[in-house]
């Protein structure tokens, strides 16, 4: 259990800045949707790769995907998905994690590095800006897809029947 | 009885080399890439993922290439691969109500919030072979239209019926982990969560035939397609070290909500009941068949007479897995030399005894 009493903390422990979990999740989601070269570009833009230490070497495993009975009821196991994870530490002590669908280990490590960089409040905006092109590309793809799907939406006409 | 047989190593090695060469086919024809299979044989890839019970389009495409397009062999490869990987855990249940829809149709309501969108479908095509596809050329560009304001909000049809109390509620989430047949052998009777897991990875042909049998009268359920939706859902996972739900990415799913005719009892007023199907990718036929069989397997729970094959969960669940089925059927081609030798001995002895019995009355006749 995490200790929430500040007085009980070790004096040398850094006071953790409580980042907005939604903002961190958004960055994580963006990294997951990014192509590896987009993450590489973002890292280069952020000043290249510092010495990044692997807390855990990138590893591929399985996550059992669950659905719900009827879509809204008790969970059931639908089937597994390959997932690759990585965990890194920066020289400044910030740790970053990545969990992505698929088997791309290099990409997971890049994403974990970006997550670690994002942990530093001073760099947060820069990391988000560096991922801006990914967000823009995805938004454009989503909008184009939505337009193609919208063209297949059915407009029903009710046929008038002769005598009524 | 199995007895170790030695020999044939060179023949086996050469057969596998021949397989590799044969797999490539005519070398003057360009080789298929895994990406080509993933992109252009997408529904087959979806089926390998669904029956292989492993979401990984690239892996499924590679397995198909290795298996020369043999579906069950590809499923075998995918299932074998997964046994080499550690399990990180289970995802949060996916929210199909929040799916980014690529297709959504209902056979029960014409007008639905969010509308009916056909998406990329074979429905309403004339099933005429398109010889233009045999020639290379640019694919036609899809039409586009501005999405209507309600397009992003498409509640499930079952949610709409639920508001009026016309359909049974889903069994609520009590927080307990669902059984997992990849961890514990299937035990009968299996609960609905386990049955759905088995059906989801079950052979599409087998599940389809069973669903069809219920329509033809072997355990009738009077089904309507309340809704079929195909699209992308976000998958989230809570890693121990982080303690919050991490977005893993999006996967494509097909969901079928089958709405079945009235059911009522002394306690429960007449209402619609439900059958549910869910599969990886765009796997519409599978999701529909699964929903039919899911509902048929609820016969006992709903107080209906039980007797049809699709209502017999031991029959359905013990035989729906294509890999198990093929394993047992195909093992028949492995050497059974000693077994068969014993059978030969037996048949020869029985024949000798039979001949002796026939000879005795003839001798008696001759003596009289």
pLDDT confidence tier of residue B153, bands split at 50, 70 and 90: confident
Higher local confidence (pLDDT), B364 or B335: B335
Say what the pLDDT of residue A22 is.
92
Question: Which stretches of A8-97 are DSSP H helices?
Answer: 21-33, 36-45
What confidence tens digit (pLDDT) does each residue in A120-159 have?
Answer: 999 999 999 999 999 999 999 999 999 999 999 998 876 6
Mean pLDDT of A6-10: 41
Give the model's pLDDT for residue B125: 94
Q: What is the ipTM of this complex?
A: 0.93
* Strands, sheet with B246-263, edge to edge from the N-terminal-most edge strand: B100-105, B223-237, B246-263, B271-280
Encode pLDDT of B267-286 as tens digits: 888 899 999 999 999 999 99
> What rounded mean pLDDT belongs to chain B?
93
What is the DSSP annotation of B305-322? ---SGGG-HHHHHHH--H
Domain containing residue A61: 17-149
Contacting A residues, span 27-66, partner chain B, CB-CB under 8 Å: 28-29, 32-33, 59-66
Confidence of residue A15 (pLDDT cuts 50, 70, 90): very low
**Does the pLDDT at position A9 exceed 60?**
no
Strand B246-263 versus strand B223-237 pairing type: antiparallel
Answer yes or no: are the C-beta atoms of B48 and B60 closer than 8 Å. Answer: yes
Least trusted range by pLDDT, from B36-45, B254-263, B356-365: B356-365
Is A159 part of any domain?
A: no
> How many percent of chain B have pLDDT more than 70?
96
Per-residue pLDDT band for B149 (boundaries 50, 70, 90) equals confident
Contact with chain B for residue A151, Cβ under 8 A: yes
- Specify the pLDDT at position B3: 56
Task: Place B150 in a pLDDT band, splitting at 50, 70 and 90.
Answer: confident
User: pLDDT at position B265, please?
Assistant: 76
- Three-class secondary structure of residue A86 per DSSP: strand
Total domain count for chain A? 1
Q: Would you say residue A6 lies in a domain?
A: no
pLDDT tens string B99-142: 999 999 999 998 889 999 999 999 999 999 999 899 887 888 99
Enter the tokens of residue B188: 């009968």
- Scanning B311-350 for CB atoms below 8 A from A yields none
Using a CB-CB cut-off of 8 Å, the residues of chain A touching B286 are none
pLDDT at position A47 over 90 = no
pLDDT at B165: 86
Interval A9-37 mean pLDDT: 77
- Structural domain includes residue A164: no
What is the arithmetic mean of pLDDT over A41-52? Answer: 85
Q: Does residue A5 belong to any structural domain of this protein?
A: no
Nearest residue of chain B to residue A33 (CA atoms): B249
Compute the nearest-CA separation of B306 from chain A (Å): 22
Domains of chain B: which residue ranges? 9-82, 96-119+149-170+179-326, 336-368
pLDDT band at A18 (very low <50, low <70, confident <90, very high): low
Q: How far apart are CA A46 and CA A26, in angstroms?
A: 18
Single out the residue of B247, B43, B242, B61 nearest to residue A101, CA to CA. Answer: B247
Which pTM value belongs to this model? 0.91
Q: Which of B58-62, B148-152, B177-181 shows the lowest mean pLDDT across its residues?
A: B148-152
Rounded Cα gap, residues A118 and A96, in angstroms: 8
- Percent of the residues in chain A that have a pLDDT greater than 90, as a whole number: 77
Q: Which residues in chain B touch residue A100, judged by CB atoms under 8 angstroms apart?
A: 248-249
User: Which residue of A28, A70, A145 is in closest CB contact with B170?
Assistant: A70
pLDDT of B248 above 90: yes
Name the residue among B186, B180, B114 with its Cα closest to residue B153.
B114
Name the B residues in 45-74 with CB < 8 Å from any A CB.
49-50, 52-56, 58-59
Q: Is the pLDDT of residue A21 over 80?
A: yes
């Amino acid at each position: 259990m995490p200790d929430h009493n500040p007085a009980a903390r070790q004096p040398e422990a850094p006071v953790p800045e409580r980042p907005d979990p939604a903002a961190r999740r958004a960055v994580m989601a963006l990294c997951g949707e990014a192509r590896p070269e987009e993450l590489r570009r973002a890292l280069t833009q952020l000043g290249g790769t510092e010495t990044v230490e692997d807390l855990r070497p990138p590893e591929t495993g399985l996550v059992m995907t669950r659905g719900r009975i009827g879509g809204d009821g008790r969970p059931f196991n639908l089937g597994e998905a390959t997932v690759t994870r990585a965990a890194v530490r920066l020289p400044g002590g910030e740790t970053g994690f990545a969990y992505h669908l698929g088997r791309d280990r290099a990409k997971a490590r890049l994403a974990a590095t970006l997550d670690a960089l994002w942990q530093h409040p001073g760099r947060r905006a820069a990391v988000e800006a560096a991922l801006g092109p990914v967000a823009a590309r995805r938004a454009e793809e989503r909008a184009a897809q939505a337009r193609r799907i919208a063209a297949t939406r059915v407009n029903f006409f009710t046929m008038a029947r002769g005598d009524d | 009885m199995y007895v170790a047989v030695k020999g044939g190593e060179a023949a086996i090695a050469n057969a596998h080399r021949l397989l590799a060469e044969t797999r490539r086919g005519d070398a003057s024809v360009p080789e298929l890439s895994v990406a080509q299979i993933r992109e252009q044989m997408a529904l087959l890839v979806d089926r390998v993922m669904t029956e292989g019970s492993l979401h990984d389009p690239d892996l499924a495409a590679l397995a198909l290439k290795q298996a020369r397009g043999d579906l069950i062999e590809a499923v075998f490869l995918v299932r074998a691969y997964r046994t080499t990987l550690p399990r990180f855990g289970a995802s949060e249940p996916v929210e199909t109500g929040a799916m980014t829809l690529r297709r959504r149709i209902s056979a029960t309501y014409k007008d639905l919030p969010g509308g009916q969108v056909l998406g990329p479908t074979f429905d309403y095509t004339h099933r005429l072979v398109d010889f233009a596809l045999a020639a290379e050329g640019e694919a036609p560009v899809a039409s586009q239209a501005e999405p209507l304001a309600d397009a992003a909000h498409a509640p499930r049809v079952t949610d709409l019926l639920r508001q009026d109390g016309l359909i049974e509620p889903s069994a609520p989430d009590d927080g307990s982990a669902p059984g997992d047949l990849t961890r514990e052998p299937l035990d009968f009777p299996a609960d609905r969560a386990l049955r759905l897991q088995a059906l989801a990875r079950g052979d599409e042909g087998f599940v389809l035939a069973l669903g069809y049998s219920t329509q033809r009268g072997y355990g009738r359920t009077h089904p309507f397609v309340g809704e079929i939706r195909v699209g992308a859902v976000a998958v989230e996972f809570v890693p121990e070290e982080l303690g919050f739900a991490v977005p893993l990415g999006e996967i494509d799913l097909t969901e079928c909500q089958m709405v079945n005719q009235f059911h009522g009892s002394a306690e429960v007023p007449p209402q619609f009941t439900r059958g549910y199907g869910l599969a990886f990718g765009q796997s519409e036929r599978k999701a529909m068949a699964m929903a039919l069989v899911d509902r048929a397997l609820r016969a006992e729970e709903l107080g209906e007479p039980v007797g049809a094959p699709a209502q017999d969960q031991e029959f359905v669940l013990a035989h729906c897995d294509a890999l198990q089925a093929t394993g047992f059927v195909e093992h028949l081609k492995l050497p059974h030399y000693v077994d068969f030798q014993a059978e030969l001995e037996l048949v020869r002895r029985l024949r000798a005894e039979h001949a002796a019995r026939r000879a005795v009355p003839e001798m008696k006749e001759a003596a009289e």
